[in-house]
Amino acid sequence: MIPLSLDEVSRLCAGELTKTSGATEITGVVIDSRRVEPGDLFVAIGRGAEFAPQALKRGAAAVLVPRDAEASLAALAGAVRDRSDARVVAITGSTGKTSTKDILASLCAPQAKTVAAEASFNNELGIPLTVCRLEQDTELVLVEIGMRGLGQIKEACSFVRPQIGLITSIGPVHLELLGTIERVARAKAELLHGLEPGGVGIVPADEPLLEPFIPADINLRRFGPGGSSSLVAFEPGDETSRAVFEIEGERVELELASSARHQVQNTLAALVVYRALGLPLEGAQEGARAIRLSRWRGEETALPGGGLLINDSYNANPISLTAALEHQAQLAVGRRRVAILGTMAELGAESDRYHREIGSRAAELGVAAVLAVGDGARSYLEGADGVPLREWAPDAEKAVALALETVQPGDCVLVKGSRVVGLELVAKALEEAFAA
């Protein structure tokens, strides 16, 4: 982190600041006392004040018990951002933002000293923590910005100050709070309005819902069908896949570890950002070899008898779940398919309809067994009339027993649901049971 003096921290952050004897500056910001390193500022959120002694023992320069944690972290991030010459890319979208960020980070790392958001650090706490990791020699920072309502992306942009903004997709997410997909588009478009002067906005070419909210004077680049950048050819393989992209009139062919079409589309979006940064497309393959997605996002584990477990349990919405079911069908290659599907959260009044549609899609694709998990997940089964085996469990703990009864050696198993369901517990149980 670019150092900040403790005097400045005191001016920026309202609350109780306890300094270590002799400390004059901070060289990091953390909110987890277990991650404290010498010189860090430990920002004690909620019950975090109870762990202040441990933080100081681990070498924290100071402990801050803030009056407003989000405001304090934003102020610290803004001060660090003001001292940096790094280029800033901000990524948002209804689906694919974390994976696209992961892909872009891998592509850029060999070309520029890069800081990227950890995992899904994309909320009011995670965003400033990412910015606070900037060093004096950082050349590029990739910030992931999530939202649950209007105004949140605008607020994040006020201290992130991105020069490039990518919207990966628009879809039915957070409808419980936003009401309509049109309002989702409006909220996501705040990123385009929050760019620094002369900034570049990058959006899907086939997303009409964004159009009313795109600034008239923005430097805009569109990707996908009808855009200036697109996927030209894709040949999935067992070990690696081949993808050919056209990026702003220039072709690039990449060998990719993923055979998932939706991840190839995320790679397309990442390449458009990569090119907008002025990085050489001929150097993209070096980074492509190193792509590693955040955990629980399509992780594939071989099971006995030629089976396969696809652990995509981090989150789910109608778009990402449809893509996951289609990818499962692609990977199954004749194997019996089991879909363990958790509730898709925050879909509002139309939640049952969206769940029924997913159940219907599972039936169309030939899934042999659907195990629905969570209160909202019962509607999967209502739509899955053509699926031979349909079961329901109220939570992940109860789903473990049903999963172990349902899954057979040689099956291709998809585990996916919203974060609140915690289906990684089921994936772990299957891994352990079949490894025994």
Domain of residue 54, residue span: 4-68
Same domain flag for 234 and 179:
yes
| Sign, Cα dihedral of 41, 47, 53, 58 | negative
Secondary structure element (H or E) that encloses residue 131, with its range: helix 126-131
Same domain flag for 169 and 99:
yes
CA 348 to chain centre: 22
Same domain flag for 205 and 317:
no
Q: DSSP string of 365-391?
A: TT-SEEEEESGGGHHHHHH-TT-SEEE
In a domain, 410, yes or no: yes
Same domain flag for 219 and 321:
no
Taking only Cα atoms into account, the Rg of the chain, rounded to an integer number of angstroms, comes to 23
Same domain flag for 261 and 361:
no
Same domain flag for 280 and 138:
yes
Same domain flag for 196 and 316:
no
Low-confidence ranges of the chain (pLDDT < 70): 436
In a domain, 153, yes or no: yes
pLDDT of 436 reads 55
In a domain, 35, yes or no: yes
Same domain flag for 197 and 115:
yes
Same domain flag for 430 and 318:
yes
Same domain flag for 253 and 323:
no
Of 288, 314, 349, at which residue does a domain stop? 288
CATH of the domain at 129: 3.40.1190.10
Of 254, 288, 322, at which residue does a domain stop? 288
CATH of the domain at 11: 3.40.1390.10
In a domain, 77, yes or no: no
| Sign, Cα dihedral of 270, 275, 280, 281 | positive
How far apart CA 390 and CA 370 sit, in angstroms, is 5
User: Contact 134/1 with Cβ under 8 angstroms?
Assistant: yes
In a domain, 322, yes or no: yes
How far apart CA 214 and CA 191 sit, in angstroms, is 10
In a 13 Å sphere around the CA of 337, the CA atoms on its Cβ side amount to: 22
CATH of the domain at 329: 3.90.190.20
Any long-range contacts for 210-217 (C-beta under 8 Å, 24+ apart)? 210/167, 210/170, 210/185, 212/185, 212/186, 213/185, 213/186, 213/189, 214/189
Question: Burial letters for 67-105: b for 16+ Cβ neighbours within 10 Å, e otherwise?
Answer: eebebbbbbbbbbbbeebebbbbbbbbbbbbbbbbbbbb
Q: Please give the tally of structural domains in the chain.
A: 3
In a domain, 93, yes or no: yes
How far apart CA 436 and CA 433 sit, in angstroms, is 5
The per-residue pLDDT for range 56-101, each reduced to its tens digit, is 999 999 999 999 999 999 999 999 999 999 999 999 999 999 999 9
Helix, strand, coil percent values for the chain (each to nearest 5): 40, 25, 35
Write down the H helix ranges in 165-279: 175-178, 181-188, 190-193, 261-276
In a domain, 317, yes or no: yes
How far apart CA 60 and CA 347 sit, in angstroms, is 42
Question: Burial letters for 149-167: b for 16+ Cβ neighbours within 10 Å, e otherwise?
Answer: eeebbebbbebbbbbbbbb
Same domain flag for 215 and 326:
no
Same domain flag for 93 and 223:
yes
Of 288, 319, 345, at which residue does a domain stop? 288
How far apart CA 32 and CA 42 sit, in angstroms, is 7
How far apart CA 54 and CA 59 sit, in angstroms, is 9
**Overall size of the chain counted in residues:** 436
DSSP tally for the chain: helices H, then strands E: 16, 21
In a domain, 73, yes or no: no
